[in-house]
Amino acid sequence: MARKRKGDPIHGWIVLDKPVGMTSTRAVGRVRWLLNAQKVGHGGTLDPLASGILPIALGEATKTSNYIMDGAKTYRFTVTWGVQTDTDDSEGAVVQTSDARPTAQEISAILNDFIGTIAQMPPQYSALKVDGERAYDIARSGEQVNLVAREVQIDRLEVVNHRDDSQTEFEVDCGKGTYVRALARDFGQKLGCFGHISALRRTRVGPFFETDIISLEKLEELSHIGARCQELAQVIRSVETVLDDIPALAVNASDAARLKNGQAVILRGRDAPIYSGTVFVASSGTPVALAEFRQGALHPKRVFNLG
């Protein structure tokens, strides 16, 4: 007999405003405890230094996490000039310093070099695996981490505020795998003055924006008995929220049952020619599965246990 899961079967997304100083793992654990949720995950780690959008998947929404992690992101960040650290942020040890400071014009002149598809060397202190070990574990042991530059996509990069000679605030729209800490490091090296991230906030992840966020403090209020069934339900975004970029297909109850049982469904008539690749399937407004269309049929990839 299967062991019953602890907690409540809650499904959907919480767009949390992660506070500075808290790890993403701790934030997820806090949300799980507040909601008494059976299953929780997140859509993209934020460093403890960073604040902003941490999408948290509840229940069946965890099956869609890769779609949010692959989504475009926006960050607002501050670079402090004259100091490079081993972590490329203000939490690391100082490794190089300079008395030089860039002007606003010098900074603007280099930005085009960082827009488009660029090769970026990840920070030594990153979660990437090298020979089975996390890069940050190797770096903490005092060893040099042998990382390889990776292609990342930068769609927009702007100066928001050149506060003074020592700090400049930027905003960037970027794709999966971009390290904003590495941008700060590379800016400083290109300008010949060194630099590191001293403030970082994520303001967009895929379909989620700052207007969608909820703080931990507010979530604590709503989790109290009496508020849970009303206001809290409005805060939880639907499972399919992150699937807007893939085709959607409605099926009848019979085809939905087949997909949920792992069986393929043949598409007939006008539906067949217009679908290819991954499709989000729903029945009577309820998510059924993520399916792959091939050889005239839908084959279930991930089935949602909802409804």
- Both tokens of 27, joined, read 């934030």
Is residue 244 part of the annotated active site? The answer reads no
The predicted structure's pLDDT at residue 229? 60
- Both tokens of 100, joined, read 């030089």
What pTM was computed for the model? Answer: 0.89
- Distance (Å, whole) CA 212 – CA 206: 12
**Domain 246-303 CATH assignment equals 3.40.50.10490:** no
Q: What angle do CA 72, 77, 81 make, to 5 degrees?
A: 140
Local confidence pLDDT in tens for the 307 residues of the chain: 445 568 888 999 999 999 999 999 999 999 999 998 999 988 888 888 999 999 999 999 999 998 898 889 999 999 999 999 999 999 989 999 999 999 999 999 999 999 999 999 888 765 656 556 665 565 566 666 667 789 999 999 999 999 888 999 999 999 998 999 999 999 999 999 999 999 999 999 999 999 999 999 999 888 875 555 677 778 899 999 999 888 888 889 999 999 999 999 887 765 555 667 888 999 999 999 999 988 778 899 999 998 6
Please state which of the four CATH numbers 3.40.50.300, 3.30.2350.10, 3.30.450.20, 1.10.10.10 is assigned to the domain occupying 12-70+208-241. 3.30.2350.10
Domains 73-205 and 246-303 share a fold: no
Contact of 147 with 185, CB cutoff 8 Å: no
The predicted structure's pLDDT at residue 123? 80
Q: What topology does CATH give the domain 73-205?
A: Pseudouridine synthase (3.30.2350)
The predicted structure's pLDDT at residue 225? 59
- Distance (Å, whole) CA 145 – CA 135: 6
Task: Please tell me which residue in 8, 17, 47, 99 is annotated as part of the active site.
Answer: 47
Largest CA distance in the chain: 71
Question: Helices marked H in the chain — which ranges?
Answer: 24-35, 65-69, 104-110, 135-140, 180-191, 216-222, 233-235, 253-260
The predicted structure's pLDDT at residue 233? 79
Q: Break the chain into its structural domains and give their ranges.
A: 12-70+208-241, 73-205, 246-303
The predicted structure's pLDDT at residue 1? 43
